Structure 1
């Protein structure tokens, strides 16, 4: 097996994604564009998108990272709009796009057109999360988009299976489709809830951070595989497990959380980069099967399907947003709502690799042995829709959000809330320390007791200092200056340790021990600013 193409894909996409952080073009769009260009470079191999790899091997970890970064409480608060988008909109888009494709493409059977509708119906979890993170959307809109993208793949895959069964001649019925959807949805949620119990027990009882992180990497694949074996929704199983475990991440020891965060950031970066690059690299594979079609015709079909996909989302989003608000109870709970939020949600419906993976799983023939009707054209229309939404909507979304001028996050209010929370926690910790010191078994020398109290006091005062005055020369708060000086001191110690190792006064094992101690102190001294 030649692994060089895989290594080139991972390394190249990672380099491009890193470069995308330093240019105004969002990294996902840059990756797609470079993938399109590189696909025609002589000597570049074909990167065929295998649905048997993408769905069970790439989709679970991407969903897991998106779900653990989401808030269970926020998603529960936005359950109605999330459900209307992730279930209602996907089914609506399946029928609208399918019916439109049936009318637009001469000779395309309605069943095959509905297959296309199900394929392009779900906005992509990776694309939605990447864009929301980049442009800094209001929290409610971000929660709705993330929640939709986590669940809609399950709806789309089920709708695809039903439409495909009808297209290949398996005699699917409406009642059978609804039953299959309910079984997949309930089964997926059930599998997730059942798996959550032993997985959380393992996470809280394993004492080795290395074993904890190994388990963490296996969890999304196990949840997906178990659910699919039971003919339930693997997507929902992964999402439910990730949301529950993320909600209870505080129960895991600190070493596991630190390692887990670093590991999953790396996994998400590599997979997201490779996924978007793969989208662009599919162009030669898709075009190869279009030899029998006129260029002008397929271009017209592609533009028409893209426009239907874009317009259908707005047709669903605005009624789904404002019709429930006819209820006084809904209005009282949600407050005033302008047209801007639904407009951004409507425009943020980028499609991604899941649509392409599902499209490539369309079989070559139907049950009678005849070729699947217009399979190559369906692949092309899926590809152009994915590229169109990523480029047109992805490029214009950041300036659109700036143009709409959403209220900025209230940094002062958030800092005040953080300071109040820290003050309550510090008071509780101080009382606990007094209780412990009252027991003679916990007796400590006075300097160590003072050190405990000093660390607690600094942690309590650090947030309040961000609300106070700053250094007139540097513009830093006292806490920022403390961190900077602490870092300088730690850096000096680190240089001395290395110099002692180089002079053979200490060995490498001792150097690693000393450096790790400094690393932990530096991590404790600095809050994350990204």
Structure 2
């Protein structure tokens, strides 16, 4: 693929995603629909989903940004349900879907059917995160879905390799499959544990934010490549490293954190948008060369397989949610699951680009030179399963959450906790300031010392004011009014600096210095808006 089609893909998908953010429909769904619509327009380049690009170059940064934004403590608290979904459910879905395809499609070997089962088994990390964020799910359910989607790709890829080895004639046994799974899992986690500490040490020792962020962009690719080099799970290596670095991000200086957040938000936006557009653009490739299978027959297989995929997740989720509670230890350590919550987890099983990338890596021929049985049908069924879950489940999930009346996040309680945390931190800072000013080496003029106290008091009061009364005229809290006025003052300063530059009283270098100072002040006055 040359540069121009890539440019069209990135620019077009970014434009569609930007437009989708103005609607109530999830951006991944709009992007997939746009890809489907564009795929048959005349003059549109052929976009083939290459697994050699997606798996080592696109998957690691998407996993890294999702894992680094997750909570290690929350994931540890939900380790049992996450493991049951990311390992147990994926293996269960592989067997159930594979067996169903074997019974459904005439002359399809069981080994090839299990390849298909492994391909469509893992829900997608990007789709789950996007829908959960947009739908406002309770934090526990969001943590479980995110944790599942971070790990399940490793399980599915390993199951796919074992099933593929049997399908192409390389030979595979249950003992060999279990051994390969353990090697991938233990090796991936081990590589992540080996890399995370030196990588964090290097991040904290680099003194320039530019170098630190360059390292940050390389980390997911390094972790993935090192693990895959020793036949371990690159997915698990990336997740382990990202969770550790995200948990200790506070030890990196503020300039790095500011730049890193902006850089990774841009990278994730571009990759996510392009990936979902690519899913839709695969339609011409999966429809051609179906061979002996007619369109009606293939569509019947697709519908039946979609229903099996959806039903299998329900069959797994409810027993996995309630049977472990027969143990008193589990009941004491975990809160009770609700039927509504279990239903949402079961329904939120959208598949995505990883399934398609794995499907496209199925070889054309077996070891004996024969064509891989029903390879094009496998691609078609993978594509329809991905599209079906994204459209049917993705579109209906927000309405389902409202219908089930799941309790959302308690914003007032979260604000109260934030205010209490800020109050404790402010008291510690005030004590530290008093101790520093008592030292004659730190003497400041009274106005400057008072300014430090004023800034501290403002930070302490800002969160409490969000809980208070609002302005009867504007509907704003005192904190919101303060930030709006601060922004207006900063904007006035900005306009003056630009006029001075245009009048040649200051040069562009000085203008950039002054504007950066104002930008930092504005960033300090405003909380980052939630997505």
Cα displacement string for residues 37-71 of structure 1 (whole angstroms, at most 9, x for unaligned residues):
10000111110011000000000000001101110
Deviation at 1:335, TM superposition (A): 3.2
Deviation at 1:23, TM superposition (A): 1.7
Map of 1:429 onto structure 2: 429
Map of 2:34 onto structure 1: 34
Map of 1:388 onto structure 2: 388
Map of 2:120 onto structure 1: 120
Map of 1:98 onto structure 2: 98
Residues of 2 paired with 1:408 and 1:324: CA distance? 25
Residues of 2 paired with 1:518 and 1:468: CA distance? 29
Residues of 1 paired with 2:469 and 2:43: CA distance? 61
Map of 2:409 onto structure 1: 409
1:57 is aligned to 2:57: yes
Map of 1:456 onto structure 2: 456
Cα displacement string for residues 282-323 of structure 1 (whole angstroms, at most 9, x for unaligned residues):
010111121432111111111111110010000000000000
Please list every run of at least 4 consecutive aligned residues from structure 1 whose deviation after the TM superposition is greater than 6 angstroms: none
Residues of 1 paired with 2:336 and 2:192: CA distance? 36
Q: Is the 8 A contact 2:136 2:409 kept in 1?
A: no
Residues of 2 paired with 1:366 and 1:393: CA distance? 35
Map of 1:225 onto structure 2: 225
Deviation at 1:328, TM superposition (A): 2.5
| Root-mean-square deviation over aligned CA pairs | 0.9
Could you say what secondary structure the match of 2:494 adopts?
A: helix
Aligned ranges 1:207-222 → 2 under 5 Å: 207-222=207-222
Map of 1:244 onto structure 2: 244
Residues of 2 paired with 1:75 and 1:113: CA distance? 33
Map of 1:12 onto structure 2: 12
Residues of 2 paired with 1:107 and 1:409: CA distance? 51
Deviation at 1:97, TM superposition (A): 0.3
Map of 2:66 onto structure 1: 66
Map of 1:315 onto structure 2: 315
Residues of 1 paired with 2:336 and 2:60: CA distance? 37
Q: Is the 8 A contact 2:196 2:241 kept in 1?
A: yes
Could you say what secondary structure the match of 1:367 adopts?
A: coil
Map of 1:135 onto structure 2: 135
Residues of 1 paired with 2:144 and 2:346: CA distance? 11
Deviation at 1:171, TM superposition (A): 1.1
**Contiguous gaps of at least 5 residues in structure 1:** none
Map of 2:111 onto structure 1: 111
Q: Is the 8 A contact 2:165 2:171 kept in 1?
A: yes
Residues of 1 paired with 2:518 and 2:177: CA distance? 59
Map of 2:377 onto structure 1: 377
Deviation at 1:446, TM superposition (A): 1.2
Residues of 2 paired with 1:529 and 1:20: CA distance? 18
Could you say what secondary structure the match of 2:288 adopts?
A: helix
1:488 is aligned to 2:483: no
Q: Is the 8 A contact 2:136 2:408 kept in 1?
A: no
Residues of 2 paired with 1:481 and 1:337: CA distance? 41
Cα displacement string for residues 240-259 of structure 1 (whole angstroms, at most 9, x for unaligned residues):
00000000000000000000
Cα displacement string for residues 215-251 of structure 1 (whole angstroms, at most 9, x for unaligned residues):
0000000000000001100000000000000000000
Cα displacement string for residues 325-374 of structure 1 (whole angstroms, at most 9, x for unaligned residues):
11223223323332001100000000000000000000111111111111
Map of 1:347 onto structure 2: 347
Residues of 2 paired with 1:444 and 1:24: CA distance? 53
Cα displacement string for residues 252-277 of structure 1 (whole angstroms, at most 9, x for unaligned residues):
00000000000000000000000000
Aligned ranges 1:229-378 → 2 under 5 Å: 229-378=229-378
Residues of 2 paired with 1:464 and 1:330: CA distance? 37
Q: Is the 8 A contact 2:321 2:337 kept in 1?
A: no
Residues of 1 paired with 2:367 and 2:170: CA distance? 8
Deviation at 1:455, TM superposition (A): 0.5
Deviation at 1:419, TM superposition (A): 0.8
Quickly say closer, same or farther: Cα 1:447–1:419, change in 2 above 3 A. same
Deviation at 1:444, TM superposition (A): 1.2
Map of 2:179 onto structure 1: 179
Could you say what secondary structure the match of 2:409 adopts?
A: coil
Residues of 2 paired with 1:229 and 1:374: CA distance? 31
Matched positions, count: 530
Residues of 1 paired with 2:123 and 2:168: CA distance? 26
What is the TM-score with the length of structure 1 in the denominator? 0.99
Residues of 2 paired with 1:165 and 1:336: CA distance? 42
Map of 1:508 onto structure 2: 508
